[in-house]
């Protein structure tokens, strides 16, 4: 036997409460998404037409992201944390040793009633100032790690700038390639129209079509270079999996003259890699002093209470242990410390020479590239653009033929591309000089 229930929900009666529940549900789901995903919510920014918005970053944003997320820089921060732990450990004094001893326990009666019982404590005493020297070594090691972190920070900033400038240059190159394609397409359409009108031969159309194909290949190559540059920038920033569509910025076009003497002085005073190298000398010399002090033996002081059960007497024991340095006076480690001290000084000189060589090399390259940029900007580019305008106008009026227009187009494109390449190289040299001399190069 089956029983059926016929129930009809009074929708009209509770319609208002139903609508309120729906609104609350949507609000709750939105809040829940924010709680679960936070700022990493998978919702992407869209415009008014519900289309994804291109994400372009500025140089400041790129630098901030790199400083926060670059794994190499994070590794140096972890190294400093480790150095802080080592410094903390070096300040701790050796623990005392607690001794509980029962002697002469009879074999026929286990227990402490007939044995001699001892309770004592032994405390190592560090002599010769070795503890202070150990702390000093740890402090200098921590300072060295901080200088190395600063050196890595400068390198990350320079690499980020260089990658950013490459993207800017490749964006300019892509725009030039698109412009060349636009010009080539216009020439092709013009030649085709003139051929249809019987004014030119079919060879002009074929040449124009070939140039259009070359222009399209140029666009494809420029787009590939741009994507590779963006990937390089993302990798330096530490966000290789995120989406970056380009950058917002420009290359420095009018940097001023530099003084090599001032750059050298800045490098000597402010270069953290050089400071870290000098700190290695201090560490080695302090460690050598510590190794020499290791020949002074530490002392173990002990005190205890001993119960003589059979005699029913309580006694107090005192003792001092002093190792006799007859054979081991730490000779080997002293010799090692002297060698490491000399090694640190040689490495410091080598680091300085290498930094100075890099600085002079980039300085000379900077001056050469700067002159080239000025030549392109003030003389070559204006003439190439004016030539293209005149020949394009004359071509439309019948004063010049197709070959003249094609040559003018090629000259303009090659000139623009060479200028952007030279400008990119100049900015890369600027980034390296700023890293080496720890300075900022601005436009005039």
Give residue 48's pLDDT: 44
State how far the Cα of 130 lies from the Cα of 110, in Å rounded to an integer: 46
The DSSP 8-state label assigned to residue 300 in this structure reads E
Q: Is the pLDDT of residue 321 over 70?
A: yes
Got the DSSP string for 113-142? SSSEEEEEEEEEE--TTHHHHHHHHHHHHH
What is the pLDDT of the chain when averaged over all its residues? 86
| Entry pTM | 0.80
Give residue 54's pLDDT: 58
**126-163 per-position pLDDT tens digit:** 999 999 999 999 999 999 999 999 999 999 999 999 99
Give residue 17's pLDDT: 45
Alpha-helical segments (H) within 3-70: 15-37, 59-69
Average of per-residue pLDDT across 72-82: 95
Q: Could you tell me what percent of the chain has a pLDDT over 70?
A: 86
State how far the Cα of 90 lies from the Cα of 289, in Å rounded to an integer: 16
Cα–Cα separations (whole angstroms), residue 278 to 261, 269, 281: 21, 12, 5
- CB-based contact 105:57 (threshold 8 Å): no
Average of per-residue pLDDT across 280-309: 93
State how far the Cα of 275 lies from the Cα of 272, in Å rounded to an integer: 5
Average of per-residue pLDDT across 14-26: 46
Q: Give the strand order in the sheet containing 97-103.
A: 97-103, 116-125, 299-308, 313-321
Average of per-residue pLDDT across 240-246: 89
**Domain boundaries defined on the chain:** 62-92+126-295+330-437
Packing angle, helices 331-375 and 260-270, rounded to 10? 150
Place of tokens 């390198």: 155
Question: Domain 62-92+126-295+330-437 in CATH: superfamily?
Answer: Outer membrane efflux proteins (OEP) (1.20.1600.10)
Average of per-residue pLDDT across 254-267: 93
Give residue 318's pLDDT: 92
Q: Is the pLDDT of residue 5 over 80?
A: no
Q: Is the pLDDT of residue 75 over 80?
A: yes
Q: Is the pLDDT of residue 36 over 50?
A: no
Closest of 437, 243, 242 to residue 358, by C-alpha: 437
Give residue 109's pLDDT: 66
State how far the Cα of 74 lies from the Cα of 232, in Å rounded to an integer: 19
Closest of 351, 349, 354, 355 to residue 437, by C-alpha: 355
Beta bridge partners of 246: 56
Q: Is the pLDDT of residue 186 over 50?
A: yes
Q: Are strands 56-58 and 313-321 parallel, antiparallel or unpaired?
A: unpaired
């Amino acid at each position: 036997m089956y029983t059926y229930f016929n129930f009809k929900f009074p929708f009209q009666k509770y319609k208002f409460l139903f609508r309120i529940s729906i609104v609350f549900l949507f609000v709750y789901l939105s809040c829940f998404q924010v709680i679960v995903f936070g700022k990493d919510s998978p919702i992407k920014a869209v415009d008014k037409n519900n289309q994804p918005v291109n994400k372009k970053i500025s140089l400041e944003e790129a630098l901030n992201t790199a400083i926060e997320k670059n794994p190499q820089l994070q590794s140096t921060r972890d190294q400093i944390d480790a150095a802080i732990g080592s410094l903390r450990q070096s300040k701790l004094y050796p623990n005392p040793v607690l001794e509980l001893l029962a002697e002469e326990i009879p074999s026929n009666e286990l227990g402490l009633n007939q044995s001699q019982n001892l309770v004592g404590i032994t405390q190592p005493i560090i002599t010769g100032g070795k503890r202070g020297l150990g702390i000093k070594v740890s402090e200098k090691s921590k300072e060295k790690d901080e200088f190395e972190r600063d050196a890595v920070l400068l390198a990350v900033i320079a690499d980020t700038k260089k990658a950013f400038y490459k993207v800017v240059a490749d964006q300019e190159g892509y725009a030039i390639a698109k412009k060349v394609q636009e010009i080539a397409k216009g020439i092709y359409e013009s030649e085709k129209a003139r051929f249809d009108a019987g004014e030119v031969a079919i060879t002009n159309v074929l040449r124009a079509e070939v140039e259009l194909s070359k222009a399209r290949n140029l666009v494809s190559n420029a787009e590939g270079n741009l994507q590779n540059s963006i990937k390089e920038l993302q990798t330096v920033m530490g966000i290789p999996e995120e989406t970056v569509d380009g950058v917002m910025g420009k290359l420095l076009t009018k940097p001023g003259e530099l003084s090599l003497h001032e750059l050298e002085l800045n490098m000597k005073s402010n270069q953290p890699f050089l400071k870290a190298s000098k700190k290695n000398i201090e560490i080695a010399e302090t460690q050598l002093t510590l190794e020499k002090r290791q020949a002074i033996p530490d002392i173990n002081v002990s005190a205890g209470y001993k119960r003589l059960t059979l005699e029913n007497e309580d006694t107090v024991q005192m003792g001092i242990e002093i190792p006799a340095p007859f054979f081991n006076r730490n000779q080997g480690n002293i010799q090692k410390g002297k060698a490491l001290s000399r090694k640190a000084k040689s490495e410091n000189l080598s680091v300085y020479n290498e930094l100075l060589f890099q600085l002079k090399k980039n300085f000379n390259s900077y001056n050469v590239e700067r002159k080239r940029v000025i030549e392109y900007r003030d003389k070559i580019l204006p003439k190439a653009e004016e030539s293209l305008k005149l020949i394009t106008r004359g071509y439309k009026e019948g004063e010049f033929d197709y070959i003249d227009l094609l040559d003018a187009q090629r000259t303009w494109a090659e000139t623009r591309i060479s200028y952007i390449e030279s400008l990119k190289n100049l900015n890369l040299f600027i980034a390296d000089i700023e890293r080496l001399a720890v300075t900022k190069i601005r436009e005039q």
